[in-house]
Amino acid sequence: MSYFVAVSGAGEFLRGNASGGKHTTNGSGSDTITFPRNVSTCVPSVTLGGIDSTNQPPGFATTRDDGGTVGVQIYDAAGNPTDRSFNLVVVC
C-alpha cells in the first residue's frame, strides 16, 4: 500500500490521499500528515518542491513517526526551519 501528498508552503494539501494534517506554526517548517491507517511500520520519503513550475531554493527535509502519522520538518540550506512546499510518499 502506498500513500502520498503534495503540500504547499502554507500547509495546504494540493493532491494525494492523505486524510488530514496540520501545519504547526507559520515559519516553523513543521507539518504532521495523517493517512487512512497508522503508518508507523511504513517507510516515508520526503522531497522539497514539485508542486508547480517554480524553481526551489536549496534546503532539506526530514521525517519522523508521530504516533502513526508522519511528521515532516523542512529546513533552508543554512539549517533554519522554514515553510516550503514538499511531496511525501509513504510505502507500507
Beta carbons of 14 and 21 less than 8 angstroms apart: no
pLDDT given at position 73: 97
pTM for this entry: 0.91
What range does the domain containing 41 cover?
A: 2-91
Residues 46-82 pLDDT 10s: 999 877 788 889 999 999 999 999 999 999 999 999 9
Write the Ramachandran bin of 14: left for phi over 0, alpha for psi from -120 to 50, otherwise beta.
alpha
Provide the pLDDT confidence category of residue 21 given band limits of 50, 70 and 90: confident
CA 11 to chain centroid, in Å, comes to 9
**33: which strand partners?**
21, 70
Counting the structural domains of the chain, the total is: 1
Q: Which residues pair with 22 in a beta bridge?
A: 32
